[in-house]
């Protein structure tokens, strides 16, 4: 049997119209959107299918919206009897990975991502933040630059996405200063359109309340291995998972490490489940040049059919 890893995207993969063809095709997808709307009180289907992008990208709207599309695509795959051996999700996408692994039911998945979005939005209004992507430097070099910078504001690594693709986060002035220093070291520094300093100390004000909220959710033993953002490794104890998900708010996403650990497990097929192709693009940079792994996306009906055909052969 071929070993399969499911990967779920997070914020940044959205587009207006995402999930529409699945919604029109399948009753069970419409039920997923109905559940999302009942839990959140938001018009998730309208946000996903009509936007406008300005409303969709507000983190309080975006987190349950992307999750709904992730779970819609996943449901179509599951109807074909395809299950993962390993699951992982990038930042917000980690909640879809928990659901795919049987750790949390669908209602609690939407409750968690909606609460997470509310708290992150609240902290972003209290503490102005910024994020820049740095292309061309190693994580060690970026960390040294952070350690050496003389600044009164917060700046740290938010995402280690690939070997030489790192996102920094923190106070606007400090992030801009570090981006300028990185550019002097021949890195490309790209400002990101975000409304907060995600995965930084500026999110710590949300942690206690989110920990308490996590305590209201019953976690089940995972049905497959889960590679986590905070540790960059497999952690499947229930208390450990619960603690990790609270820490995820202010800790860096160690995506590169997570993918390297999954590759070590001799995975044959990776499939990115949800809108966009961000994770597939990162994976192509991470996989060894001699890798025979196959990479698929399932983000619309056509790609879903192609994936199912490939897996069945």
Measured CA to CA, the distance from residue 199 to residue 11 in angstroms comes to: 12
Paired with 157 in beta bridges are: 168
Close Cβ partners of 253 (under 8 Å, ≥ 6 residues apart): 90, 91, 158, 159, 160, 161, 199, 229
Please give the C-alpha separations between residue 106 and each of 33, 71, 100, in angstroms, as whole numbers: 11, 9, 10
Of the pLDDT bands very low, low, confident and very high (cuts 50, 70, 90), residue 1 is confident
pTM value > 0.85? yes
Indicate if the pLDDT at residue 237 is higher than 80: yes
Beta strand spans in 91-247 (E): 130-135, 155-162, 165-170, 188-191, 225-226
> Strand 294-298 relative to strand 269-273: parallel, antiparallel, unpaired?
parallel
Q: Per the residue annotation, which of 91, 156, 200, 258 is the catalytic one?
A: 91
Q: Give per-residue pLDDT as tens, 131-147.
A: 999 999 999 999 999 99
Average pLDDT, the chain: 96
Q: What is the pLDDT of residues 89-140, one digit of tens each?
A: 999 999 999 999 999 999 999 999 999 999 999 999 999 999 999 999 999 9
pLDDT tens-digit map of 265-313? 999 999 999 999 999 999 999 999 889 999 999 999 999 999 999 888 7
b/e string for 280-311 if b means 16 or more Cβ within 10 A? bebbeebbeeeeebebbbbbbbebbeebbeeb
CA atoms of 75 and 175, how far apart (whole Å): 39
Rounded Cα distance between 137 and 121, Å, is: 30
Strands 269-273 and 4-8: what pairing? parallel
192, with CB counted inside 10 A (0-12, 13-18, 19+), is: middle
Grouping H, G, I as helix, E, B as strand and the rest as coil, residue 5 is strand
Q: What is the per-residue pLDDT for 86?
A: 98
CA–CA dist 77, 22 (Å, integer):
11
Mean pLDDT of 147-175: 95
Domains, in order of start, for the chain: 4-125+201-312 (3.40.366.10), 130-191 (3.30.70.250)
pLDDT at 283: 97
151: left (phi over 0), alpha (psi -120 to 50) or beta: beta
With a pLDDT cut of 90, the percent of the chain lying above it is 94
Task: Please state the rounded mean pLDDT for residues 50-74.
Answer: 97
Write the DSSP assignment of 42-57 as a string of letters: S-HHHHHHH--HHHHT
**Segment 36-43 mean pLDDT:** 98
Catalytic residue among 199, 200, 256, 258: 199
Question: 278 Cβ partners below 8 Å, 6+ apart?
Answer: 9, 12, 13, 90, 272
Strand partners, 166: 134, 160
Catalytic residue list contains 91: yes
- Inter-axis angle of helices 106-126 and 207-214, nearest 10: 170
């Amino acid at each position: 049997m071929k070993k399969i890893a499911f990967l779920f995207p997070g914020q940044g993969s959205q587009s207006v119209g995402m999930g529409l063809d699945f919604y029109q095709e399948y009753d069970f997808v419409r039920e997923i959107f109905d559940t999302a709307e009942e839990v959140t009180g938001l018009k998730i289907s309208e946000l996903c299918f009509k936007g406008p992008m300005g409303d969709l990208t507000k983190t309080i709207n975006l987190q349950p919206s992307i999750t709904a599309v992730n779970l819609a695509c996943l449901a179509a795959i599951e109807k074909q009897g395809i299950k993962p051996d390993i699951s992982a999700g990038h930042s917000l996408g980690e909640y879809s990975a928990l659901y795919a692994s049987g750790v949390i039911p669908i209602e609690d998945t939407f409750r968690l991502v909606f609460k997470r979005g509310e708290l992150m939005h609240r902290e972003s209004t209290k503490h102005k933040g910024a994020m820049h992507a740095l292309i061309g430097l190693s994580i060690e070099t970026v960390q040294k630059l952070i350690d050496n910078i003389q600044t009164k504001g917060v700046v740290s690594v938010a995402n280690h996405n690939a070997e030489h693709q790192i996102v920094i986060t923190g106070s606007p002035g400090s992030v801009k200063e570090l981006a300028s220093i990185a550019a002097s070291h021949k890195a490309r520094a790209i400002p990101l359109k975000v409304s907060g300093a995600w995965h930084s100390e500026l999110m710590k004000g949300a942690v206690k309340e989110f920990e308490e909220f996590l305590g209201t959710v019953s976690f089940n033993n995972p049905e497959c291995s889960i590679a986590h953002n905070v540790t960059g490794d497999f952690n499947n104890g229930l208390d450990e998972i619960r603690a990790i998900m609270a820490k995820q708010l202010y800790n860096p996403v160690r995506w590169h490490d997570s993918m390297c650990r999954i590759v070590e497990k001799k995975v044959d097929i990776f499939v990115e489940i949800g809108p966009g192709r961000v994770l597939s693009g990162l994976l192509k940079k991470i996989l060894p040049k001699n890798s025979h792994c196959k990479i698929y996306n399932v983000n619309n009906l056509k790609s879903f059919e192609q994936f199912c055909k490939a897996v069945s052969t």
